[in-house]
Amino acid sequence: MKKFKSKKGLLIAFITSIFVVIAGCSNNDAASQSSEGAEGAPTSIVMSWPRDIGSMNPHVYNPSQLLTQSMIYEPLVSYEEGGKLKPHLAESWTISEDGLEYTFKLRENVKFTDGSSFNASIVKKNFDTIMENKNSHSWLGVINVLEKTEVIDEQTFKMVLSEPYYPALQDLAVVRPVRFLGESGFPEDGDTSKGITEPVGTGPWVLEDYKKDEYATFTRNPDYWGESPEVEKVTIKIIPDAETRVLAFEKGELDLIYGEGAISMDSFNHLKESGEYKTDLSEPVGTRSLLLNTTNDKLADLKVRLALQHGFNKEAMVDGITLGIEEEADKILSTNFPYTDVEVEAIEYDVEKAASYLDEAGWKLPSGKAVREKGGQSLELELMYDKTDPIQKAMAETLQAEWSAIGVKLDIIGVELTVQIERRKAGDFDVDFWYNYGAPYDPHSFINVVAEEGWGVSEAHSNLPMKDELDKQVDKALASTNDAERQKLYGTILKTLQEQSVIVPVSYMKKTVVYQNGIEEFVFPANRDEHPFNEMKVSQ
Amino acid sequence: MFIYLIKRLLAVIPIILFAIFLMFVLIRFSPVDPAEAYLAAANIHPTDEILAEKRHEFGLDQPLLVQYVQTVKDVVQLDFGNSYVTNTSVWQEIATRMPATIQLAVSSIILSLVISVPLGFLAAVYKNSLIDHLSRLLSYLGASIPQFWLGYVLIFLFSVKLDMFPVEGRGTWQHFVLPSITLSLALIAIYTRLLRASVLDELENVYVVYGRTRGIKEKTIMVKHVLRIAISPMLTGLGMNLGKLLTGTIIVEQVFSWPGFGRFFIEAIFNRDIPVIQSYVVLAACLFIICNLIVDLVQLYIDPRISRKGMAQS
């Protein structure tokens, strides 16, 4: 058969040309993204986010992202370190003695990015559209007790509540929905739930460029009323995959990786140990806990609950699974939230004590058997976990092994998050993973769900002998207008909850950040949902 | 030919109806409530009030039969409604994202054809030579390497280490290189082997010997006769894969942050965004049918014997 000499040459030429093209291409795209610009170039930050930033509507949820909403829109009061509330768009406020009327003196000379003034009328207009869709925001306590709003004068705004509710100000510090859209951002009918015309806020950042699913660029608001951020430009690239995010960071296409779950614990430690980048962990943002449901007869017994809590090596589990990123939790709420610095007794790892509690509760280990029994029933429980969460899965497996050593059979079942929430709400579980809400929602949201049904937590506590008393204390704390009384009530509530062991604290969750050396200073925002760009300092 | 076309197009209707039925049943069998999934994605606690409101808004509080009839009515009119999550028309979402997916699919197909046609052909002509072994190796690799892993390896080597291409995103021609290679390697593996086997079969035919004895140039025999006929099975494969590529770039879009429809679909599944899932299923069914039809027509053009055989049978 005749061979094709000319074809062979063609093939070699083709392969060579591919290599020449590949070798010849230099990736100038990455270079253009660099933040450590030359002298005189604007200081910019490039970070990634897993989802598109959405419509930037301050009053709706999906698909707008909290991070970017907080860049454009501002609250009346801001939540600072340790739960301190500071004036923001409201310069000051007074609360009537009965705790029903909140009068805000609004900051003067604040302009929206459309040039309009920030005043009591626009604040009322925003409140009105929010309250038109009250049901959508019923998760937020202040919305449920807000009776009416009033414009007192150009710069004075009043909020009247139907009943006293001390966390009203904390609720106003959350990122959505109580933030303020400028006049030109409103649709014709004034109902923002259907959309806005443009993102007009008073915040330090302005959306300059946006390409759906690709990136969003923010520049400093030149007319910002407060102190301008040092960074001049922030680009948020949409990178849904966590591993790709790490690769982009290693290549230098990103300046930082920030956000809850933005990076796996493995990758965080890998980047940290490389020594080439800066890394940091935040103060606890929430507690990873187990919820033991007292509506289950076996778990209704305090001794069984205490046995389970004594029966696993929390420190080893947390350290091993979270690779040192999370911290072993002794208290249900970490002490960086207001009113939570309460003396309570930690429940230590003690297998013998666990076994003796179970013996005392009547759960005996028959000879030759591995599972304890009582009245012909075996001590078998089910733990439900979110199957997409690798930490929950690993912890469930560890607990299964640990509790089997004290004669408890734990069946673990992975479900979708929505199923987990639904079953929790219905009280249809034995043991479940549960997290509190973090700043600025806690501790008031936490005690609220202990008392109020429909969240699964109150249901889990329902067989406690002191449940009615606990509920009354919660109601009293939330309505209290006296700080000292409130502190006392929180102390009592947290102590009871700790002793009753329905909520078993496992670990304090922390936010992670990894950043390039060009960033000199990074400060975690006190509010869990706020963006971190205002305080960031970069080298020129 | 016209009747054949009409028949093929009419076959779309029962397939689409079956796809809608299957999709409706599967979504309703899922234990996840779309209203709850919406609220979970928004980090909102699903209170009974909000859930009832969302279910009403999405029409999920209607009896199942009413929902099904409404779904069929809407989908048949190609009205997919608004995405639950973005509250934007699904068609608008498709229009925003489909071009990126099509670009990636087309570039991958071009790349796989450019490599697999010469490689498969030469591997057959130079059987058991170095090029044949090389094509075999490439096929083994292409068939066995998972796409997401290949994507990460390519990013690590060519972006992070050699700094030749961007890690992710879209915008310049460099952005196409790594995702296209990732997508096309599996296709190259299939097409190269298909073409090689097909060319080897054709070379056994008497018309090749006859052509040579008539003194026809070897090049003419190979390109105009052998390759033309041998490429037919590969085109069938291509047709099947074209639909798959347009709907199945999901993993690659995720790994390379390619802003296409596949990525949007993944989010839609997690959020139980029914209108988006519906649109995807219907479009995918249509695409598969249309792509196969186009390939059949191209085959008729390339190999008129198929057409004659078909007519003789009818």
Verify whether the Cβ–Cβ distance A214 to B165 is below 8 Å.
Answer: no
CB pairs under 8 A between A and B: 148
B217, closest residue in chain A (CA to CA): A2
How confident is residue B22, by pLDDT bands cut at 50, 70 and 90?
confident
**pLDDT for residue B84 is more than 70:** yes
Mean pLDDT lowest among A221-225, B18-22, B47-51, B108-112? B47-51
User: What is the reported pLDDT for B206?
Assistant: 85
Q: Look at residue A452 and tell me whether its pLDDT is greater than 90.
A: no
The pLDDT of residue B312: 53
Contacts of A14 in chain B (CB under 8 A): 118
B204 inside 8 A of chain A by CB: no
User: The complex's ipTM?
Assistant: 0.82
Question: Percent of chain B having pLDDT more than 90?
Answer: 18
What does the pLDDT look like over B154-169, one tens digit per residue?
999 999 999 999 999 8
Asked whether the predicted pLDDT for residue A133 surpasses 50, the reply is yes
pLDDT at A18 over 70: no
Measured in degrees and rounded to the nearest 5, phi and psi for residue A302 equal -55, -35
Please give the helix or strand (H or E) that residue A233 lies within, else none: strand A233-238
Interface mutation target, options B32, B38, B45, chain A, most CBs of A under 10 Å: B45
Closest listed residue to residue A526, CA positions, set A246, A44, A175? A175
For range A15-40, the mean pLDDT: 44
Q: Which residues in chain A have their CB less than 8 angstroms from residue B87's CB?
A: 55, 62, 194-195
The CA distance from A454 to the nearest CA of chain B, in Å, is 7
pLDDT band at B229 (very low <50, low <70, confident <90, very high): confident
Across the interface, whether the CB atoms of B257 and A238 are under 8 A apart is answered yes
Listed by number, the residues of chain B in 58-87 with a beta carbon closer than 8 Å to a beta carbon of chain A are 84-87
Residue A425 to residues A257, A297, A442, Cα–Cα distance (Å): 34, 18, 20
Residues within 8 A of B (CB atoms), A 407-436 only: 415-419, 421-422, 425
**B9: alpha, beta or left, given left = phi > 0 and alpha = psi -120 to 50?**
alpha
Q: Which single residue is written with the structure tokens 């429980």?
A: A381
Q: Cβ of A419 and B32 within 8 Å?
A: yes
pLDDT on residue A32: 39
- Whether A170 has a pLDDT exceeding 80, the answer reads yes
Q: What is the pLDDT of residues A519-540, one digit of tens each?
A: 999 999 999 999 999 999 888 6
Q: Closest Cα of chain A to B47: distance in Å?
A: 7
Chain B positions touching A422 (Cβ under 8 A) are: 33, 36, 46
d(CA A323, CA A319): 5
By Cβ distance, the residue of B42, B125, B160 closest to A250 is B160
Min Cα distance A354 → chain B (Å) is: 35
Q: What is the pTM of this model?
A: 0.84
Taking Cα atoms as reference points, which of B156, B139, B176 lies closest to residue A22? B176
Q: Is A540 on the interface with B (CB under 8 A)?
A: no
Is residue A15 predicted with pLDDT exceeding 70?
Answer: no
Per-residue pLDDT of A291-305, as tens digits, reads 999 999 999 999 999
Torsion of CA A177, A180, A183, A186, to 10 degrees: -10
The answer to whether A136 contacts chain B (CB < 8 Å) is yes
By C-alpha distance, which of A423, A429, A500 is closest to A463?
A: A500
Sequence-ordered strand ranges (E) for A270-388:
278-292, 327-328, 373-374, 377-378, 380-386
User: Does any CB of chain A come closer than 8 Å to the CB of residue B57?
Assistant: no
Q: Which among B44, B169, B218 has the least Cβ separation from residue A214?
A: B169
Asked if pLDDT for residue B308 goes beyond 50, the answer is yes
Average pLDDT along chain A: 89
Written as six digits, the tokens of A317 are 């589990």
Scan residues 249-308 of A and list those with Cβ closer than 8 Å to B.
250-251, 253
Instruction: Give the residue-averaged pLDDT of A41-69.
Output: 89
Q: Among A11-15, A213-217, A326-330, B38-42, which stretch is predicted with the lowest mean pLDDT?
A: A11-15
B259 close to A (CB below 8 A): yes
- Mean pLDDT confidence for A399-413: 96
The pLDDT score that the predictor gives to residue B269 is 86
Q: Between β-strands A256-258 and A377-378, what pairing exists: parallel, antiparallel or unpaired?
A: unpaired
CA distance A407 to A401: 10
Cα-to-chain-centroid distance, residue A370: 40
Q: What is the mean pLDDT of residues A381-403?
A: 94
pLDDT at residue A4 greater than cutoff 80: no
Of B118, B125, B171, the CB nearest to A29: B171
- Inspect the interface and report whether the beta carbons of B44 and A248 lie closer than 8 Å: no
Best of A1, A62, A175, A424 to mutate (most B CBs within 10 Å, chain B):
A62
How many Å from the N-terminal Cα to the C-terminal Cα in chain A?
69
Lowest mean pLDDT among A20-29, A57-66, B59-68, B303-312: A20-29
Minimal-distance CA residue of chain B relative to A29: B166
Sign of CA dihedral B105, B106, B112, B117: positive
User: Nearest residue on chain A to B173, judged by CA atoms?
Assistant: A25
Minimal Cα–Cα distance from A211 to chain B, Å? 10
Report the distance separating Cα B57 and Cα B125, nearest Å: 64
The region of weakest confidence among A9-23, A108-122, A152-166, B207-221 is: A9-23
Instruction: State residue B299's pLDDT score.
Output: 74
Minimum Cα–Cα distance from B165: chain A residue:
A27
Among A26, A29, A139, select the one facing B44 at the smallest CB separation. A139
Q: Is A29 an 8 Å CB contact of chain B? A: yes
Sequential DSSP letters for B204-267:
TSHHHHHHHHTT--HHHIIIIIIIHHHTHHHHHHHHHHHHHHHH--HHHHHHTT--SHHHHHHH
Is there a contact between A61 and B118 if contact means CB atoms under 8 Å apart?
Answer: no
Q: Do B165 and A135 touch (CB under 8 A)?
A: no
For A139, which of B33, B45, B174 is closest by C-beta distance? B45
**Looking at the complex, does the CB of residue A7 fall below 8 Å from at least one CB of chain B?**
yes
Residues of B in contact with A241 (CB under 8 A): 254-255, 257
Backbone angles phi, psi at A199, to 5 degrees: -80, 95
Given the structure tokens 């068939």, which residue do they identify? B143
Q: Is the pLDDT of residue B55 over 50?
A: yes
- As a whole number, the mean pLDDT across chain B is 85
